[in-house]
Structure 1
Amino acid sequence: MFTSEAEKVSLPFQANTALSSPAGRPDFPVEKEVLEILEVASIRLGDSHGNAKRSITDAISFLAAKIQHAPELTSRKCAGATLSFRQVRRIREYIDQHIDQRIEVATLGFVVGRSTSHLSRLFKHTLGLAPHAYLTQRRIALACKLLGETDLAMCEIALRCGFSDQAHFSRSFRRSMGVNPTSWRRAIADNERAVTLEGPARRMNHEQRI
């Protein structure tokens, strides 16, 4: 592996300098490979080149300690890679208060003090979906409420829920709910009529049995 005694001596100092640098991300498989190389180099040096051998020994100890604590550090990072309940609530409240407007992911990030890319990752880890998907989910939820509780026209519901137009609203609604908004409203009305008629029918059956 080494072509000369000089190369043997220079290796530990280069490796030690690189490992001491705070730049770069940890790559534990590579560190294990480097550790094996350093161990082999230490054996080959034998009792000569005392300073080089000490440098290699220090590098081995450094790498061994780092690898030993790697799972602990990784688990801590993963545990913290989520949005808190309070952050989710703030995002939801902001969306609901501005739901008739165009809302950018960058704006949601600003609400909780996160960058756009970081927020997207946290959203995935916390809620299992992207910010845009969550936003659409909130818009559709409001649309369902308005379809069932009001007689507003489809175009008005589309605007109140933040869709660019009725066609966009219909496509998004069908993609999420499996039916178009008109069919959804009709199904709700039919269900309410069935419930309204069911009460008197039950009373009549009860009176007949008596």
Structure 2
Amino acid sequence: MNSQATALRRSDPKAGRLGDLAESLIDILTDAARAIDTDRSSAKAAIAHVSQLLQNQVGPRAAVKLHSRQTASLVEWQVRRVTKYVDGHLHRQIRIEELSQIAGRSACYFSRAFRATFGESPRAYVARCRVRYAGDLMLTTPMSFSEIALASGFSDQAHLCRNFRDLTGTTPAAWRREHRDLTPGPGTATAALPSPQSRMDQHGQH
């Protein structure tokens, strides 16, 4: 071993341990390479041993990184900004890229963090918000279903009906008839439709 490696070991014990491991692996692989033609079984056993040593070193670190990625969630300010943006733009298409920029994250990270925070994908959350907004319009305006569909960001009445039925188990027309006696006003449908909530809301952290 050269003097630089020796100095690194003395200044950083962890680097020293890694250096010892690297030397051991090199020695084992060198012996395996020499024996590959004359003693194939021993060479294979040596390579398997190296593989196990590497797994013991790399495996725990990889598991920690994977766990970190899987459990990543949005922080409170990101939840506030994203939900406010969604509420203000339900009349048009909302892209994942827009929401990830608002949260200051990549689209890939944002999608994972959003699901960890809300328990559903950004797309499902937006659809749920659209349905709730459509429900408010049904109870507070005389708008037709086709008008409500466009106002709440659905492509057409059929698109609204599919999403509404998926969420409520009934059609917009039947739901409107059932709830039309509710006191009209902003947010009237809030009590009648499932509310999209973040894990923060559910645990009283908001």
Q: Sort the TM-score into its range (normalised by shorter chain).
A: 0.5 to 0.7
Q: Is the 8 A contact 1:174 1:180 kept in 2?
A: yes
Deviation (angstroms), 1:64: 6.2
Give the number of aligned pairs.
146
* 1:53-107 alpha-carbon deviations (Å, 9 max, x no partner): xxxxxxx6x986766777766655555x111121122111111111111111111
Unaligned runs of 5+ in 1: 1-6, 14-33, 41-59, 193-210
1:84 and 2:75 equivalent? yes
Partner of 1:26: none
Partner of 1:37: 49
- Percent of aligned pairs with the same amino acid: 33
- TM-score, length-scaled by structure 1: 0.57
1:188 and 2:200 equivalent? no
User: Residues 35 and 76 (structure 1 numbering): CA distance in 2 closer, same or farther, change over 3 Å?
Assistant: farther
Q: CA RMSD in A?
A: 3.4
Larger radius of gyration: 1
Structure with bigger RCO (C-alpha 8 Å, 6+ apart): 2
Counterpart CA distance in 2 for 1:70 and 1:8 is 23
Counterpart CA distance in 2 for 1:73 and 1:170 is 42
Partner of 1:139: 130
The code of the aligned residue for 1:147 comes to M
- TM-score, length-scaled by structure 2: 0.58
Partner of 1:202: none
Which of 116, 133, 143 is equivalent to 1:152? 143
Counterpart CA distance in 2 for 1:180 and 1:104 is 27
Specify the SS of the correspondent of 1:151. Answer: coil
User: Residues 95 and 8 (structure 1 numbering): CA distance in 2 closer, same or farther, change over 3 Å?
Assistant: closer
Q: Is the 8 A contact 1:35 1:64 kept in 2?
A: no
The code of the aligned residue for 2:49 comes to I
